[in-house]
């Protein structure tokens, strides 16, 4: 059956306040959860929901994005009808880069017109979740809404920043406010919007004609009274990852077995680029406790409460705790690493002592040698 | 379609009788090995790394899982427009179809496939061995010696030699005698079941052999001896490195254990010779607060709370608290209950070992095999989990 929904992952002006982790890459490709990139969660959710036509609106620093997504085959998005479309800004004028998402949607309007799907779901990449969009569209149709916003009731966002939403008793959204606003609500917007494609195109054109070019800030906020904007309550696990602190705290949350089961398996699996690493090797005398460990790791030392990405090598006598070590990191003989985030290819030589604090983890940029 | 210098014909129809319950519903090349692989991944990865882009896979016995696994060959880079992977099951012809009667007959029945590519050389390999080998180097050797057939040979233990075809060779690697599975071997250079034939020669011998009613249509038993008899140029390509025939429970278990050495004879982490496989798409393994793991291989999707020592764990294995696994191979999605103790076992995919069960014993040298989806309870009543 042909699916009625188009997926749009909107990376235009997605805030990327992850310090050195987003220095050379966009937020969507920040490594997360021992073997994934942030974008994998929403992309896999779309695929698992039967969406077979996905556009990723790239904005800046998208080399890593192109490399990661490739042809889309790892998400089963390489096929004749639909598939994956990566759409970087289409403009000659450098000024246009700063314009809002509606402008960029307009620049690529042919993509929308050419797709046969009737509905569109627009998302960001930094909402780490595993969601069935089929249920969202069902809800959208049942409520006869114009726009449905996916929401999550959660008091503590672990320092992640999200817009807050107020609903009336019918589930209609009466107010949306930026994260710094004073709205008293524990309902957060997951920045996922379902609507008819026609409505989106209309919004794009009328907003741009009025000099407004931001989807949420301008178009949706100003239409809350005119359009039926409803909230859909998502019940699964949500991690809002858009600051360094929220990155660290949400990563550590994955060590909880319940979260591990929920986020990675329910309702569907999370896909990522396949690397063909062998199984992890634990050598004699190694010790691993309460940790997430990816394939290709070689563990000779001790790992406690930590996340090791693919191909990490913990040498003899080294002790890694409460840390995140990204792909191909090496922790040298007898070194101590605590409360740290080491980006890809970081090498800690022997007998080093690196300690961050729980509230402010130590961060080492890509390929650094310590 | 362009001419190919060499294409590969991969014999994957083996029933693997000696693997018992592990091959009850599965062709031998599809048997799990090494934490995330199937046996056939090794030969397919060898092809990928040797620059071979056209592979015919000959299937026969229990092909369903194997076919599903192979798909269109994408994980091994064999989803090509020109060439790529083609699965070749026995098929019905105008004069009626027949099963593959032997290894040579399987190739004979697919001569038209080979002719489409009009290759100069044909590599014949099988999907039941674990090794890493550059077939390109072997082809160079074949061309250099001007052989009609080159057979890869490896020195094996004298007491093992009788299980293989053994070769006598001279100083120039020329094969002077060949015996298939001799009772009293007089050489310990074993044929690895890896052949490069000059296609025009092989073609002649396949046709001749097909007409010979006395033949069992087997490469080792028929084709090679008759080429030998006719004075053809037979050479051996000396292979140095790890090679293991995993056709028995013992050898399958041993080959898995070989991976656990500090400096394993077969290095899976060599980034220049990755072993490709179908990704099971599992999250990183979760090692619990009370887990103790040493000298083991553990794969993504595992959730471990117990102890694991000198073992190979495939993806999606869950172990409960106070469980203990040693010297074992645990295949995908197995569940190990609280306090269960497992010594020297091969646990089939999806099996459930209930709390408190003991399999094998510290003093017991025998290898216990638990079948796929078997449910093992504490009073040792073995029931099969019903397929839902």
Instruction: Give A222-229 contacts, CB < 8 A, sequence gap 24+.
Output: A224/A173, A224/A174, A224/A175, A224/A176, A227/A146, A227/A147, A227/A199, A228/A143, A228/A144, A228/A145, A228/A146, A228/A147, A228/A172, A229/A145, A229/A146, A229/A147, A229/A148, A229/A149, A229/A172, A229/A173
Which of A278, A328, A330 to substitute to test the interface with B, most B CBs within 10 Å? A278
Residue A276 to residue B277, Cβ atoms within 8 A: yes
Taking only the tens place, the pLDDT of each residue in B76-135 is 999 988 889 999 988 777 776 777 888 999 999 999 999 999 999 999 999 889 999 999
Which of A33, A72, A282 to substitute to test the interface with B, most B CBs within 10 Å? A282
What average pLDDT does this structure show over B156-180? 91
- The verdict on B263 touching A (C-beta cutoff 8 Å) is no
pLDDT band at B247 (very low <50, low <70, confident <90, very high): confident
What average pLDDT does this structure show over A120-146? 96
pLDDT band at A92 (very low <50, low <70, confident <90, very high): confident
What is the predicted pLDDT for the residue at B22? Answer: 84
Residue A73 to residue B74, Cβ atoms within 8 A: yes
Chain B positions touching A255 (Cβ under 8 A) are 286
What is the predicted pLDDT for the residue at B384? Answer: 43
SS (H, E, C) chain B: CCCCCEEEEEECCCCCHHHHHHHCCCCHHHCEECCCEECHHHHHHHHHHCCCCEEEEECCCCHHHHHHHHCCCHHHCCCCCCCEEEEECCCCCCCCCCCCCCHHHHHHCCHHHHHHHCCCEEEEEECCEEECCCHHHHHHHHHHHCCCEEEEEEECCHHHHHHCEEEEECCCCEEEEEEECCCCCCCCEEEEEEEEEEHHHHHHHHHHHHHCCCCCCCHHHHHHHHHHHCCCCEEEEECCCCEEECCCHHHHHHHHHHCCCCCCCCCCCCCCCCCCCCCCCCCCEEECCCCEEECEEECCCCEECCEEECCEECCCCEECCCCEEECCEECCCCEECCCCEEECEEECCCCEECCCCEECCCCCCCCEEECCCEEECCCCCEEECCCC
Residue A75: closest C-alpha in chain B = B281
Taking only the tens place, the pLDDT of each residue in B325-344 is 999 999 999 999 999 999 99
Q: How far is B385 from chain A (nearest CA, A)?
A: 23
What average pLDDT does this structure show over B15-43? 89
- Domains parsed from chain A with CATH numbers: 5-265 (3.90.550.10), 281-364 (2.160.10.10)
Which of B286, B325, B335 to substitute to test the interface with A, most A CBs within 10 Å? B286
C-alpha radius of gyration, chain A, whole number: 21
pLDDT band at B20 (very low <50, low <70, confident <90, very high): confident
The tokens for A38 are 């942030």
What ipTM was estimated for this complex? 0.90
Residue B262 to residue A284, Cβ atoms within 8 A: yes
For residue A319, is pLDDT > 90?
yes
Which of A33, A260, A272, A281 to substitute to test the interface with B, most B CBs within 10 Å? A281
Say how many CA atoms lie within 13 Å of A351 toward its Cβ. Answer: 0
Find the range with the poorest average confidence among A7-21, B84-98, B281-295: B84-98
The tokens for B213 are 């009613």
What is the predicted pLDDT for the residue at B388? Answer: 33
pLDDT band at A196 (very low <50, low <70, confident <90, very high): very high
- The verdict on B74 touching A (C-beta cutoff 8 Å) is yes
CA distance A323 to A255: 11
Residue B285 to residue A292, Cβ atoms within 8 A: yes
Chain A positions touching B303 (Cβ under 8 A) are 257, 260
What is the predicted pLDDT for the residue at B379? Answer: 63
- The verdict on B273 touching A (C-beta cutoff 8 Å) is no
When CB atoms are compared, the residue of B282, B289, B293 closest to A290 is B289
For residue A121, is pLDDT > 90?
yes
Residue A277: closest C-alpha in chain B = B269
What is the predicted pLDDT for the residue at A252? Answer: 96
Q: How far is A226 from chain B (nearest CA, A)?
A: 44
When CB atoms are compared, the residue of A276, A285, A292 closest to B284 is A292
CA distance B34 to A314: 22
When CB atoms are compared, the residue of A35, A255, A286 closest to B294 is A286
Out of A47-61, B20-34, B368-382, give the one with best mean pLDDT: A47-61
Q: How far is B266 from chain A (nearest CA, A)?
A: 12
For residue B382, is pLDDT > 60?
no
pLDDT band at B383 (very low <50, low <70, confident <90, very high): very low
Taking only the tens place, the pLDDT of each residue in B305-326 is 999 999 999 999 999 999 999 9
What is the predicted pLDDT for the residue at B385? Answer: 42
In sequence order, what are the residues at sequence separation of 6 or more whose Cβ sits closer than 8 angstroms to the Cβ of residue A259? A237, A253
What average pLDDT does this structure show over B291-309? 96
Taking the mean position of all CA atoms in its chain, how far away is CA A152?
Answer: 15
What is the predicted pLDDT for the residue at A51? Answer: 94
Mean pLDDT of chain A: 93
For residue B387, is pLDDT > 70?
no
Conformational region of residue A146, where left means phi above 0, alpha means psi within -120 to 50, and beta covers everything else: alpha
Mean pLDDT of chain B: 91
Contact B122, B9 (CB under 8 A): yes
Residue B283: closest C-alpha in chain A = A264
User: What residues form DSSP beta bridges with A10?
Assistant: A57
Residue B306: closest C-alpha in chain A = A289
What is the predicted pLDDT for the residue at A94? Answer: 84
User: Do β-strands B285-287 and A291-293 pair in parallel, antiparallel, or remain unpaired?
Assistant: antiparallel
Stronger pLDDT, B26 or A81, i.e. the higher one:
B26
Chain B positions touching A291 (Cβ under 8 A) are 286-287
Which of A237, A295, A308, A314 to substitute to test the interface with B, most B CBs within 10 Å? A295
What is the predicted pLDDT for the residue at B2? Answer: 64
For residue B381, is pLDDT > 70?
no
Chain A interface residues facing chain B, Cβ-Cβ under 8 Å? 33-35, 73-74, 255, 257, 260, 264-265, 269-272, 274, 276-296, 298, 303, 307-308
Proportion of chain B above pLDDT 90, given as a percent:
74
CA distance A320 to A302: 6
Residue B297 to residue A281, Cβ atoms within 8 A: yes
Q: Beginning with the edge strand found earlier in the chain, give each strand of the sheet holding A313-314 in spatial order.
A: A347-348, A330-331, A313-314, A298-299, A280-282, B296-298, B312-313, B329-330, B345-347, B368-370
Stronger pLDDT, B289 or B62, i.e. the higher one:
B289
Contact A361, A342 (CB under 8 A): no
Chain A positions touching B298 (Cβ under 8 A) are 279-280, 282, 293
What average pLDDT does this structure show over A279-301? 96
Proportion of chain A above pLDDT 90, given as a percent:
88
The tokens for B132 are 């890493």
Stronger pLDDT, B322 or B383, i.e. the higher one:
B322
For residue B367, is pLDDT > 90?
yes
Stronger pLDDT, A276 or B20, i.e. the higher one:
A276
């Amino acid at each position: 059956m042909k699916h009625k929904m188009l997926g749009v992952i909107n990376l235009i002006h997605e805030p990327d306040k992850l310090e050195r982790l987003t220095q050379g890459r966009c937020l969507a490709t920040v490594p997360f959860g021992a073997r994934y990139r942030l974008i994998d969660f929403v992309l896999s959710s779309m695929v698992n929901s039967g969406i077979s036509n996905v556009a990723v609106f790239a904005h800046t620093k998208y080399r890593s994005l192109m490399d990661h997504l490739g042809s889309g085959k790892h998400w089963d998005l390489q096929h004749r009808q639909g598939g994956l479309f990566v759409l970087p800004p289409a403009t000659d004028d450098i000024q246009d880069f700063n314009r809002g998402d509606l402008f960029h949607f307009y620049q690529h309007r042919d993509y929308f017109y050419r797709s046969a799907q009737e509905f569109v779901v627009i998302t960001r990449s930094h909402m780490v979740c595993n969601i069935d969009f089929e249920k969202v569209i069902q809800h959208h149709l049942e409520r006869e809404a114009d726009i449905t916003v996916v929401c999550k009731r959660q008091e503590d966002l672990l320092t992640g920043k999200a817009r807050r939403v107020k609903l009336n008793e019918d589930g209609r959204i009466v107010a949306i406010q930026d994260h710094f606003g004073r709205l008293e609500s524990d309902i957060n917007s997951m920045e996922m919007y379902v609507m008819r494609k026609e409505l989106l195109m209309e919004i794009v054109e009328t907003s741009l004609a009025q000099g407004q070019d931001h989807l949420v800030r301008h178009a949706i906020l100003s239409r809350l009274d005119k359009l039926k904007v409803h909230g859909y309550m998502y019940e699964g696990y949500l991690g809002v990852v858009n600051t360094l602190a929220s990155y660290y705290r949400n990563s550590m949350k994955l060590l909880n077995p319940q979260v591990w089961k929920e986020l990675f398996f329910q309702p569907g699996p999370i896909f990522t680029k396949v690397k063909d690493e062998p199984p992890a090797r634990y050598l004699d005398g190694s010790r691993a406790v309460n940790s997430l460990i990816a394939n290709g790791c070689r563990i000779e030392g001790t790992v406690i409460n930590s996340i090791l990405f693919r191909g990490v090598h913990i040498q003899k006598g080294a002790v890694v705790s409460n840390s995140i070590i990204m792909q191909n990191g090496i922790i040298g003989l007898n070194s101590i690493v605590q409360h740290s985030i080491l980006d890809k290819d970081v090498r800690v030589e022997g007998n080093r002592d690196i300690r961050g604090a729980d509230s402010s983890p130590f961060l080492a940029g890509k390929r650094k040698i310590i | 379609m362009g001419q190919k210098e060499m294409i590969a014909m991969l014999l994957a129809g083996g029933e693997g009788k000696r693997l018992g319950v592990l091959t009850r519903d599965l062709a031998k090349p599809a048997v799990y090995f090494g934490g995330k692989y199937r046996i056939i991944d090794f030969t397919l990865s060898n092809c990928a790394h040797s620059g071979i882009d056209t592979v015919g896979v000959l299937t026969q016995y229990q092909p369903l899982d194997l076919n599903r696994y192979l798909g269109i060959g994408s994980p091994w880079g064999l989803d090509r427009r020109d060439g790529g992977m083609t699965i070749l099951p026995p098929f019905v012809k105008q004069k009626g179809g027949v099963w593959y009667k032997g290894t040579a007959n399987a190739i004979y029945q697919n001569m038209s496939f080979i002719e489409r590519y009009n290759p100069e050389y044909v590599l014949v390999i099988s999907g039941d061995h674990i090794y890493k080998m550059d077939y390109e180097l072997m082809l160079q050797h074949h061309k250099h010696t001007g052989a009609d057939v080159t057979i890869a040979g490896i020195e094996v233990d004298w007491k093992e030699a009788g299980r293989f075809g053994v070769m006598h060779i001279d100083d120039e690697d020329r094969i002077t005698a060949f015996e298939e599975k001799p009772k009293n071997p007089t050489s310990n250079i074993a044929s690895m079941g890896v052949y490069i034939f000059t296609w025009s020669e092989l073609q002649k011998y396949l046709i001749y052999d097909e007409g010979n009613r006395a033949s069992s249509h087997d490469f080792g038993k028929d084709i090679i001896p008759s080429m030998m008899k006719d004075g053809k140029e037979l050479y051996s390509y000396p292979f140095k490195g790890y090679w293991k025939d995993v056709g028995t429970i013992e050898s399958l278990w041993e080959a898995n254990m070989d991976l656990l050495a500090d400096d394993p004879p077969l290095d899976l982490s060599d980034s220049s010779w990755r072993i490709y496989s179908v990704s099971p798409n599992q999250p990183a393994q979760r090692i619990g607060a009370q887990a103790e793991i040493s000298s083991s291989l553990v794969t993504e999707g595992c959730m471990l709370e117990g102890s694991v020592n000198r073992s190979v764990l495939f993806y999606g294995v869950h172990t409960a608290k106070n469980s203990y696994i040693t010297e074992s191979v645990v295949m995908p999605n197995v569940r190990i209950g609280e306090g269960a103790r497992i010594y020297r076992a091969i646990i089939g995919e999806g099996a459930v070992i209930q709390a408190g069960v003991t399999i094998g014993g510290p003093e017991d040298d025998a290898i216990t095999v638990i079948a796929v989806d078997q449910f093992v309870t504490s009073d040792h009543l073995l029931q099969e989990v019903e397929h839902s």
